[in-house]
């Protein structure tokens, strides 16, 4: 039986998101229908909204909800289960088939599609590989951001970079993803944890999550300030100068300037004894980047990417929920704005204008 839904649709041409009422089809063999409690509003979706596109799109990729229908071959969730929806396959290593996106037929005869999932809707049709069963006792609203913001930021620190106790960390951009990176760095015992942003309010906010130092990049060269905070006078690099720079620097923005800054900000090598630092790209880039090859060579630095925090949702989501229960991950504070589905264009505008200090969610 068709399931009614209200879905945000991005037109093929420029224009605001439109809320469309339609009937979702019955789930296919490997699909699940999820009635949603809340969805995150992620900055990366702004790229979808501004970039050229060949068709209408359905967006959103992190949410909480309850299963209302399952396909014939779905066996890890059942009707009435509480779930998190994410855009990363829940267990790619053991998956027996490739996860698929969804195309919806709209009432006007056109169609709208997504590469993986859509969560800007009160009810969604989802490939079962993007659905993770969790305890029904979770907070049904703030836990929605685990499926992207928390996973991407915390996972980059823990899974991709494998930060250890005592490592120095710099995090550029402290929105929802960057704050999650700060949380993971603190949980792993990193020190110092240096937050970098252009907004003093966001920097002050980052201290609540574990940042030990803050740098406003609008008030001087952040690279120089990171090096000044991390000098090791007992070690010398190839040029005979004291080793300085963060062990790890994370760019949670993805702009050309910030991508180049994180490479410059990581530590110089301790010649013949220790390699240099690691720069990790977390934010979605929209430009090319120019890197200083001599710096990378002489100081044995690394530049690497982290997609979705290198996460395995089946493994990692319960851990992040436990962090929340233990007070390590304060989602109640991190979620700073709530909107209804009919306010979605207001939410994306506020996000684009830098008015969201943490993470915004849609509440259904």
**Predicted pLDDT of residue 320:** 97
Nearest CA to 167 out of 148, 139, 145, 192 is that of 192
Angle between helices 256-265 and 222-229 (to 10 degrees): 20
**pLDDT, tens digit, 9 for 90 and up, residues 20-75:** 999 999 999 999 999 999 999 998 898 888 888 889 999 999 999 999 999 999 99
CATH number for the domain that contains residue 11:
3.90.180.10
DSSP H helices, the chain, are: 44-50, 149-155, 176-187, 200-207, 222-229, 256-265, 293-298, 313-326, 331-334, 344-352
Query: Around 139, how many Cα atoms within 13 Å sit in the side-chain half-sphere?
Result: 19
**Predicted pLDDT of residue 297:** 93
Supply the range of the domain harboring residue 272: 150-308
**pTM (2 d.p.):** 0.94
Contact indicator for 187, 159 with CB cutoff of 8 Å: no
**Predicted pLDDT of residue 96:** 87
**Predicted pLDDT of residue 52:** 86
* Same structural domain, 28 and 94: yes
* Same structural domain, 80 and 165: no
What whole-number distance in Å separates Cα of residue 245 and Cα of residue 299? 11
- The tokens describing 286, both together, are 């929209």
| Distances, alpha carbon 11 to alpha carbons 20, 52, 137, in Å | 11, 11, 37
Q: How many domains does the chain have?
A: 2
Question: Is position 142 within any domain?
Answer: yes
Question: Is position 207 within any domain?
Answer: yes
Question: Is position 313 within any domain?
Answer: no
* Same structural domain, 35 and 67: yes
What whole-number distance in Å separates Cα of residue 279 and Cα of residue 303? 5
* Same structural domain, 189 and 262: yes
What whole-number distance in Å separates Cα of residue 191 and Cα of residue 163? 10
**Predicted pLDDT of residue 334:** 97
| Spans in the chain with pLDDT lower than 70 | none
* Same structural domain, 132 and 169: no
DSSP assignments along 248-268, one per residue:
EEEESS--HHHHHHHHHHBPP
Which 3 state secondary structure label does DSSP give 226?
A: helix
Length of the chain: 364
**Predicted pLDDT of residue 47:** 87
């Amino acid at each position: 039986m068709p399931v009614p839904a209200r879905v945000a649709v991005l037109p093929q041409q420029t224009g605001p998101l439109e809320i469309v009422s339609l009937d979702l089809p019955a789930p296919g063999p490997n699909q699940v229908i999820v009635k949603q409690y809340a969805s995150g509003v992620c900055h990366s979706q702004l790229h979808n909204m501004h970039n050229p596109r060949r068709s209408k799109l359905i967006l959103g990729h992190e949410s909480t909800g309850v299963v209302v229908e399952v396909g014939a071959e779905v066996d890890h969730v059942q009707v009435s289960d509480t779930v998190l929806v994410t855009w990363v396959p829940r267990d790619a290593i053991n998956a027996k088939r490739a996860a698929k996106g969804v195309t919806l037929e709209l009432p006007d005869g056109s169609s709208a599609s997504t590469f993986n999932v859509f969560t800007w809707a009160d009810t969604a049709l989802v490939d079962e590989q993007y659905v993770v069963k969790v305890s029904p006792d979770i907070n049904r609203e703030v836990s929605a951001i685990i499926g992207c913001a928390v996973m991407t930021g915390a996972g980059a620190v823990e899974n991709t970079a494998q930060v250890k106790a005592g490592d120095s960390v710099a995090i550029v951009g402290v929105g929802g993803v960057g704050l999650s990176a700060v949380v993971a760095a603190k949980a792993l015992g990193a020190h110092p944890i240096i937050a970098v942003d252009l907004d003093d309010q966001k920097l002050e906010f980052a201290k609540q999550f574990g940042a030990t130092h803050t740098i406003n990049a609008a008030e001087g060269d952040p690279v120089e300030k990171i090096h000044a905070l991390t000098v090791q006078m007992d070690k010398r690099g190839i040029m005979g100068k004291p080793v300085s720079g963060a062990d790890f620097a994370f760019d949670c923005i993805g702009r050309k300037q910030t991508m180049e800054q994180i490479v410059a900000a990581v530590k110089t090598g301790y010649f013949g004894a220790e390699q240099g630092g690691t720069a990790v790209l977390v934010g979605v880039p929209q430009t090319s980047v120019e890197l200083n090859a001599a710096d990378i060579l002489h100081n044995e630095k690394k530049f690497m990417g982290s997609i979705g925090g290198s996460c395995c949702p089946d493994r990692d989501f319960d851990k992040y929920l436990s962090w929340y229960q233990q007070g390590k991950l304060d989602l109640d504070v991190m979620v700073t704005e709530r909107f209804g589905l009919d306010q979605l264009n207001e939410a994306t505008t506020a996000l684009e204008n830098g008015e969201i200090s943490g993470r915004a969610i849609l509440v259904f």
